[in-house]
Structure 1
């Protein structure tokens, strides 16, 4: 590999002196070590466990909210869902960064479209999957809500038919002749 022109002995000596001075500067070493990017939870196996637990919790809350139409359960589901999405996004961000570091970087088109360096195909797949999951969850909640409202409407209609003046048998208690 040709790395360009080699340094002259004088230049190597100057570079070595500069490195020694920088290594001796304790304040600089502390600053450089404290400005390292914070370790994201995405690299620990704990994050995957938290995501799985939140996913199960979301599923349980979704089923309970759809079955009871309770506003409290719906809000709890919404909170758990948002938490799941945020934690999953952080996890995936760390995973993509780790993967990119292993592969040596992203393609030029991915860098232009996503300054963070995430592969465009991965982002498209993640958005598509999230959209499908959201659509399925919304469809389930709406289907259950429509069934509850349909049942309530049928009960009201049935009650008005049986207790109304339209049915002479219901008013007199016998048959009408």
Structure 2
């Protein structure tokens, strides 16, 4: 996987990756995000650690799950929500300047990864109906089939996996 080191420019060749497949014609914003940051199925894409990147990550996730992988709208909805929760954690809690986003598909599974330079581990907290925050990992735990955090030499990767029906 590509690291977070390097230039702060969007990946070179990102537009080439977008030519391989493209989101639905009605989602021009998803195509722009794909061209700007690159294809997270080909390698880790680097996004700035700011609240606006959550929108970009959501668009990329929906674009990949529906347009590229051709999976169900319900799976896409859950994947988008869970990616936004992991990205939100990376943006709010790590103090990082950038984070990485990577998406994998293998027989029967999809895997979404968010990598940041912090080694601080997220914590699954009990939640109540009246809680207005702290529900991110609770949702990841409930809506994914499995999830976890891999510690790296520099930082960590938070990930989740969901089962999919292969055609």
For the aligned pair, the TM-score class normalised by the smaller chain equals under 0.3
Structure having the larger proportion of residues in helix:
1
State the TM-score, normalized to the length of structure 2.
Answer: 0.27
Between Structure 1 and Structure 2, which shows a larger proportion of strand residues? 2
TM-score by length of 1: 0.26
Q: Quick one: higher RCO (CA 8 Å, sep 6+), 1 or 2?
A: 2
- The higher radius of gyration belongs to 1
